[in-house]
Amino acid sequence: VPLAPLRAYHAPTTLRECLDVLRAESGRVLVLAGGQSALPLLKSRQLRPEVLLDLAGVEELRGVSTPADGEGLLELGSMMRYREILEAAPIGASWTALWDAATTLGDVQVRNRGTIGGNVAFADVAADIPPVAVCLSAELVVAGQDGERTVSAEEFFSGPRQTTLRPDELLAALRFPAPGARSGSGYIKYGITANGRPVIGVAASISLDEDGGCVDARVAVGGVLPAPRRARNAEQALIGTRLDVDVLAAAARAAADEVPTQDDLRASAAYRRQLIKVYGERALQRAAERARKGQVA
């Protein structure tokens, strides 16, 4: 089915021009990033915007800055594609949960076109980047008419396909704090097919002290309603321990108990709880192993 007729198609080259289009056409615009979620909805006519705003030519949204010395922030432009994440060596070395998510996200075609910003801004329940962004304490840079604001990933997602982005704003970039020494993170999902959308996905990040004791932990679960959830009881079960197998299993059970799960076409609530237990434990093992080795993908 061809797209429904559009009144206008804009392909600007600067962020300022994008914001001008959003202001002039408030509420009538659909933003096009990698098109991997938007195009199917346009072609099936579930979405019928009057105006398309294509971000593909906006170089400002493509940048990546990584700290050379392992200190400071990793900043990724919202138009960074999953394939580019996999090619960025510092991400594979230090922001490993993000790297894990990009490796198993969709198929080759989706990874070549889809963008990190599109994944986050679309805020689908069955998406891999949102729980990773919450787990890794990402700050989202939002560009609006009056300049930039930042919002934590935890506060950004307000429901399925709902965020705190206003109609005249764009997601410009994502900032990830540098993991400290003796820190590790990992992400594992269960999808219906090998590279399928997550039924659930668990992201875990762990920091150790010099003696191997856990000093900090963050656990986030995706694939659940209304939005990715931190599993704070699981985090508390890890901190102050030496992360032996029983502790990891108990923390995964705590995550399964505390995160509300839903019945839908992909899985029952009870099955999701079981998946959180099993995949949660694997994600924690992965993060703990990496923390012990010092973050090697």
- Binding residues for ligand FAD, rule: CB under 6 A, are 30-38, 55, 78, 105-106, 110, 114-115, 117-119, 121-122, 124, 127-129, 165, 170-171, 196-197
Q: Nearer to ligand FAD by C-beta: 29 or 206?
A: 29
What value does the CA radius of gyration of the chain take, rounded to a whole number of Å? 19
- For residue 5, the minimal CB distance to ligand FAD (Å) is 18
Q: Nearer to ligand FAD by C-beta: 126 or 252?
A: 126
The CA-based angle 120-200-178, given to 5 degrees, is 50
- For residue 171, the minimal CB distance to ligand FAD (Å) is 4
Placement of tokens 């930039």 in the chain: 148
- For residue 68, the minimal CB distance to ligand FAD (Å) is 27
Q: Nearer to ligand FAD by C-beta: 124 or 216?
A: 124
Placement of tokens 């615009």 in the chain: 29
- For residue 41, the minimal CB distance to ligand FAD (Å) is 7
φ and ψ at residue 173, rounded to 5 degrees: -160, 165
- For residue 189, the minimal CB distance to ligand FAD (Å) is 8
- For residue 15, the minimal CB distance to ligand FAD (Å) is 10
Contacts of 252 (CB under 8 A, 6+ apart): 234, 276, 277, 278, 280, 281, 284
- For residue 104, the minimal CB distance to ligand FAD (Å) is 7
CA 234, CA 162: separation in Å to the nearest integer? 26
Say whether 194 sits in a helix, a strand or coil.
coil
Q: Nearer to ligand FAD by C-beta: 36 or 285?
A: 36
Residue nearest to ligand FAD (CB): 118
- Give burial (CB, 10 Å; 0-12/13-18/19+) of 129: buried
Q: Nearer to ligand FAD by C-beta: 166 or 293?
A: 166
For residue 114, give both structure tokens.
Answer: 């889809």
- For residue 234, the minimal CB distance to ligand FAD (Å) is 22
Residue 179: cis peptide before it, omega within 30 degrees of 0:
no
Nearest partner of 203 among 188, 192, 190, 223, judged by Cα: 188
CA 166, CA 164: separation in Å to the nearest integer? 6
Q: Nearer to ligand FAD by C-beta: 133 or 259?
A: 133
For residue 23, give both structure tokens.
Answer: 């202001």
The CA-based angle 224-225-229, given to 5 degrees, is 65
Q: Nearer to ligand FAD by C-beta: 165 or 288?
A: 165
Cα separation of the two ends of the chain: 42
Q: Nearer to ligand FAD by C-beta: 187 or 208?
A: 187
